[in-house]
Amino acid sequence: MNSSNLTKESLAKLFDHTFLKAYATDADLTKLCDEAKAMNTAMVAINTEWTAFCKEQLKDSDVHVGAAIGFPLGQCGLETKLFECRHAIEQGADEIDYVINIGQAKMHHWDYIKDEMEKIVAICKEHHVLSKVIFENCYLEKEEIQKLSEIAKEVKPDFIKTSTGFGTGGATAEDVKLMKDTVGDAVQVKAAGGIRSWQTCKAMIDAGATRIGTSSSIQILKEFEEANA
């Protein structure tokens, strides 16, 4: 994808409009859904508790509801993630973003990572729900990011994703390019974490991202319009 070919409408369709804070209220999530409908984003990214609420808010739109599974630490255990994934889908989730077990990745227990990915992706495929695998790159070496991408290329989730936005760092264009170069056309790449300006967003798209997770969608679209006026 080339950022120079984007319109305001096609850019908005790359956004997972996000509110994942611990202090989320129904007013916050109503506002999020109203904004997503007005922009016609791809998705709202929310914690699982809010899945049914947001599904109702978005019922007259084509904006998806995306539940964050094992979020943000990925340390709740596989059985818990599988239960949460199924529960979110039952509540109306159209997309699942789950956090890998980062500790297992750091120990290079790649069989565990592959098994986790296969089981969650299988649930998503069974229910025709998009799957996204969150790596949390700020804690990983480049070789580990590449290895995770190689596993994803084999398992074939819909997306691999850079970050939760809750770690020590967010998305970088360098990491997006590494991930995309590794998976090729087999899997898409989502960039998330610290993307608050059109300049940063553009860099992620030009590096190979086809989905952008951000709570700054409105600001980015405003800057995009100003840059292309």
Place of tokens 């074939």: 156
The reply to whether 34 belongs to the active site is no
Which run of H or of E encompasses 38?
helix 26-39
Q: What span, in angstroms and rounded, lies between the C-alpha atoms of 47 and 101?
A: 18
> Which of 81, 161, 180, 202 is labelled catalytic?
161
Residue 22 burial by CB count (10 A; 0-12/13-18/19+): exposed, middle or buried? Answer: exposed
Q: Which residues partner with 97 through β-bridges?
A: 68, 132
Name the 3-class secondary structure at 177: helix
Q: Does the annotation mark 97 as catalytic?
A: yes
The C-alpha atoms of residue 204 and residue 229 are separated, in whole angstroms, by 22
Catalytic residue selected from 16, 81, 94, 97: 97
Give me the active site residues, please. 97, 161, 190
